[in-house]
Amino acid sequence: MLAFRLSWLCLPFAGYGVFDAVLSSRSDPVQITSFIGLWLLWSIVLAVSLIPSASLLTLFRVLVPISVVLTIWGSIESDISFSSVVLLIATSFAASICLLPTVGFWFVNGSSYGDEIRLPLRPPGPFLLGPIPLAWMLITGTVIFPPLLIASQRFTFGVVCAVVGLVCCFFAYRSLSALANRWLVFVPAGLVVHDGMVVADPFLVRRTAIQIIQPAPMSSQGKDLTLSSIGLALEVSLIESVDLSLQINPLAPPEIAPVDSFLVAPSLTSLTLEEAKRRSIPAF
């Protein structure tokens, strides 16, 4: 996070000249609204980057990429300069860092309890192809456009966009938060699958019940809890079958299924295996 904070601290120095050139020809209300919005965005992100908390991860990953969009817009509207190039590099670097698995690990473990390690799970593969980018674009549009429309005295259109956008943002942000609260958790008793999109309740597997944790082979017959996430999955093999309460369809009652192995997709695979070995859980 130190690299992120350093890059983020550079933004006001590079961004002032870029956005000052862009907004100098706009009306006073638009200039004031824009500069207040830019400073709020910068300040909120900087404050959030100092507070490791699982509840702030979604906010962090939503707000940081907005800076890239604003930088591209500012660079297009103004003449390309050294400041705009530096600003684009800094915002792109910051956005890349905010999406790293290690950053997610840092945030979610800020809310962990005692001898507990949380490993974020990778998002479902199909969600990366549409729902996640669409949810982010809805939130971004609502953050940027309604205040500017109202400041430019397009009150009716601005208010309508704000109301519709806030309704859409509520569901979009809640969905993104649900994805950010999917973890594989090591606790003193064993291993917990904390994933409200798959299991009805956090699923605890005691350490003594785990036969081995290993990369899942192509021929694995384990219960797939990865939601088709992209990348290497881990197979948790059990000594004997246990009942798992599945909640794939939120509108249907939970389905109880006996499993003797299951697949999960933590974003930090090697760290998961190392943590398992540290806790005397067989791992390969």
Write out pLDDT tens, residues 151-202.
988 888 989 999 999 999 999 999 999 999 999 999 999 999 999 889 988 9
Identity (one letter) of the amino acid at 161? C
Q: How far apart are CA 209 and CA 164, in angstroms?
A: 50
Burial of 15 (0-12, 13-18, 19+ CB in 10 A): buried
pTM of the model: 0.91
For residue 233, what is the DSSP state?
-
What does the pLDDT read at residue 257? 86
* Bridge partners, residue 236, by sequence: 213, 262
C-alpha separations of 230 from 81, 201, 226, 234, 257 in Å: 39, 24, 9, 12, 25
Examine the pLDDT at 23 and tell me if it is beyond 90: no
C-alpha separations of 251 from 73, 122, 248 in Å: 42, 24, 9
Question: For 110-156, how does the pLDDT look when each residue is reduced to its tens digit (9 = 90+)?
Answer: 988 888 999 999 999 899 988 999 999 999 999 999 999 999 888 88
For residue 34, what is the DSSP state?
H
Q: What percent of the chain has pLDDT over 70?
A: 100
Burial of 129 (0-12, 13-18, 19+ CB in 10 A): exposed
